[in-house]
A = this chain, B = another copy of it.
Amino acid sequence: MSDSTLIFNRLLEIAALLQQDLTRSFEGTALTASRTHLLWEVHHRGPTTQQVLAGALDVSPRNITGLVDALEAAGYVERRPHPHDRRAAMVTLTDLGAETMARMTHEHQQIADLLVDGLSSRETTELGDRLGVITDRLRAVIIASGSAR
């Protein structure tokens, strides 16, 4: 197996492990990866229409309806009236939603520190740079394969 295949396989394994850890961390709550992604967007954007969320998550508006329904039922968000457009709803974090996102942001930093712990600051910077290169190339591959269709 070539060195590049080895690295690629490590990236795939890391991706699978991250997904697995995320899923496990939601056990026993009403949260899921998709719902948390939506929460994350609202956390960073502030009150947001469902159309905007559909674009941000790259998912159909119908799907957003379902995710917001579930998050609203569990008390993480509220639909509030849009100030100027009576068709639209502003999805807004409740106190529970805001507290949850604050806690998750903190845990996010902690696991990041844990994973990268032990590398010197120079090594850390280099690793970041190389992953950045891979990220950029991967993005380019996806854009290319998208436009090829």
A residues contacting B by CB (< 8 A) are 2-15, 17-21, 24-25, 27, 108-109, 111-119, 121, 123-128, 130-135, 137-139, 141-142, 145-146, 149
Enumerate 10 A-B pairs (CB-CB under 8 Å) in ascending A order. Answer: A4-B109, A6-B128, A10-B135, A14-B15, A15-B15, A15-B19, A20-B142, A25-B145, A111-B141, A123-B130
Chain B residues in 8 Å Cβ range of A12? 18
Chain B residues in 8 Å Cβ range of A123? 130
How many of these chains are in the complex?
Answer: 2
Q: Is the CB of B142 within 8 A of A21?
A: yes
Interface of A is mostly: helix
Q: Is the CB of A124 within 8 A of B7?
A: yes
Q: Is the CB of A18 within 8 A of B138?
A: yes
In the bound complex, what is the Cα–Cα distance between A94 and B19 (angstroms)?
A: 31
Question: Known contacts being A4-B113, A5-B112, A113-B2, is A128 close to B24, with CB within 8 Å?
Answer: no
